Structure 1
Amino acid sequence: MRKVMIALALLGMAGPVTAQVATIRTKTADYEFTYRYPAAVARIPALKRGLDAEATTIRRNTARDAASDRREAKASGFPFRPYSYEKTWKLVTETPRFLSLSSDSYNYTGGAHGQPASSALLWDKAAGRRLETQSVFVSSAALQAATRTDYCARLKAEQMRRNQGDLSSMNACPPLKDLTLLLGSRNGRAIDRIGLIADPYVAGSYAEGSYEVTLPVTRAILAAVKPAYRAGFAPGR
């Protein structure tokens, strides 16, 4: 949780991560399910309906798969390990144009360990609809070209720190398509920074955890924003 709070603070989130969170929770003999989102979501009925529907779908799938695994384990004479799924949406920032959210999830299906993952969500207040964060840019190629050099340099520095300078165990710099893209703001007026999250295995081993890099919005990044959204962005520092 501390790493999450640091990453969101760098992106400009105001207030504690755990403030005013709505929680959906179910626990049975087969599985445990928890889904959370911040109070900012409840102020937007369409967004709340979308996340509630997502929670319902994931819970049903978890219940179905866990029940199936329990039956198979019993038939094979193996012990059953209950499933668990947890997802928490957090407020990254809110500007006059956008509401930016990030999520951390953890899915355990009876193996050696569960699988953590990150995701992002952008709500366009002007259009009243949910967007994929990369969809506000001209193309993934344009955004990657604008961020690649700075991102890879910062990622490598963190990889070297965690691996104590041992280059042999370091993964290559991952492409943008393998990363979670967050949009943040220092002042709440415009998007002026972006966060790039590499989940476990993407930039390092499972034990290394996720790698999170925050970049200021540069002129090159601004040029990669679609004209329809450019007024909602500003240069960062």
Structure 2
Amino acid sequence: MKRLGQGACAAALVVLAMAGCRKDDTQAPAVATDGAPAAAAPADAAPTAVELHDVIETNARYVLGIGYPPAANKYPGLAQALSDYAEHAKAELLKAVDELGNDKPTAPYELSLAFDMAVDTPRVVAVSAEGSSYTGGAHGQPLEARFVWLPEKAQLLTAQSLLDSPKGWQAVSDYTSDKLLEQATVRAQGEEMTPEEQQAQVRNLSKMIDEGTAPEAANFAQFQPVMDAAGRIAALRFVFPPYQVGPYSDGTQTVDVPAAVLLPYVAADYRELFAHP
């Protein structure tokens, strides 16, 4: 994602502002700053009340736009998590602005962040966060995050709590690395280069893929459910931001891991949420 020009950024901010007015009854399947969403709060903990509102700020030094789905306000704990993420991104931008001192940037710094409802069912809710933060350089820093909220448990579903054994993350690692390598091979074949150059490119990408999909929960922190017609999780879509499993030019990449692959390792508290073969 290249940095927006001032005119394009203004248009993008208008879109963000309008995003909060969209209907939120769709169920389309859909790092961030520095890490996964905060750890799940206990069900009996009362989250701090927060009301999400779209934010637009513009001045000579920075342009800021944040858009929220109104439906997220139904879930106070989820709303708090979204607010915390956005406030962190905003704080990072303002810190960079402050570090300019009396200098004026050649182009305004920019934060563009849109939260959207990806899933909204009685048992599973998911919100995607996508955008970028520009504080100088050739392009902005991509922002990618996913938040999965379980209304019945009043908690976030995190990667750390999802699978209950190292074997589970090994299975996810094997599956996602194979799919990402397939995608990399297809991309290489579509480019104008010799077979030898294609093979070299895939070899280089395979190293990034192996590192970015090592069997650790932190590498799979960003995910969202893909629901079936019965309202159960048919797959989890793992999201890999730019640089994790490929160069910036490859953008965000995703892999859907079927429930059948995950179920043998899903923690007992969450197995009922998944579609069974």
1:14 corresponds to 2:27: yes
How far apart, in 2, do the equivalents of 1:95 and 1:215 lie? Answer: 20
Alignment root-mean-square deviation, CA: 2.8
1:39 corresponds to 2:70: yes
Which runs of structure 2 are paired with 1:221-236 in the superposition (5 Å)? 221-235=262-276
The equivalent residue for 2:87 is 56
Size of the aligned set, in residue pairs, is 215
Residue by residue over 1:64-115, the C-alpha shift from the partner in whole angstroms, topping out at 9 and shown as x without a partner, is: 32132253x46xxxx5432111222222223432212222131111111112
The equivalent residue for 2:10 is none
How far apart, in 2, do the equivalents of 1:16 and 1:39 lie? Answer: 18
The equivalent residue for 1:157 is 182
Q: Quick check: 190-199 or 179-188, which moved more?
A: 179-188
Q: Which amino acid aligns with 2:269?
A: A
Q: Is the contact made by 1:91 and 1:101 (CA closer than 8 Å) also made in structure 2? A: yes
The equivalent residue for 1:90 is 116
Residue by residue over 1:172-228, the C-alpha shift from the partner in whole angstroms, topping out at 9 and shown as x without a partner, is: 22325334222221225111111122221222221121221112211x411211111
Distance change in 2, residues 1:211/1:46 (3 Å): closer
How far apart, in 1, do the equivalents of 2:148 and 2:62 lie? Answer: 30
Q: TM-score, normalised by structure 2?
A: 0.67
Q: 1:207 aligns with which of 240, 249, 257?
A: 249
Q: Is the contact made by 2:29 and 2:225 (CA closer than 8 Å) also made in structure 1? A: no
How far apart, in 2, do the equivalents of 1:197 and 1:15 lie? Answer: 15
1:108 corresponds to 2:134: yes
Q: Is the contact made by 2:233 and 2:274 (CA closer than 8 Å) also made in structure 1? A: yes
Q: Secondary structure at the match of 1:223?
A: helix
Q: 1:184 aligns with which of 226, 234, 238?
A: 226
Residue ranges of structure 2 left out of the alignment (5+ in a row)? 2-25, 31-51, 190-194
How far apart, in 2, do the equivalents of 1:186 and 1:92 lie? Answer: 13
Please state which structure has a larger fraction of its residues in strand. 1
The offset of 1:116, in angstroms, is 1.1
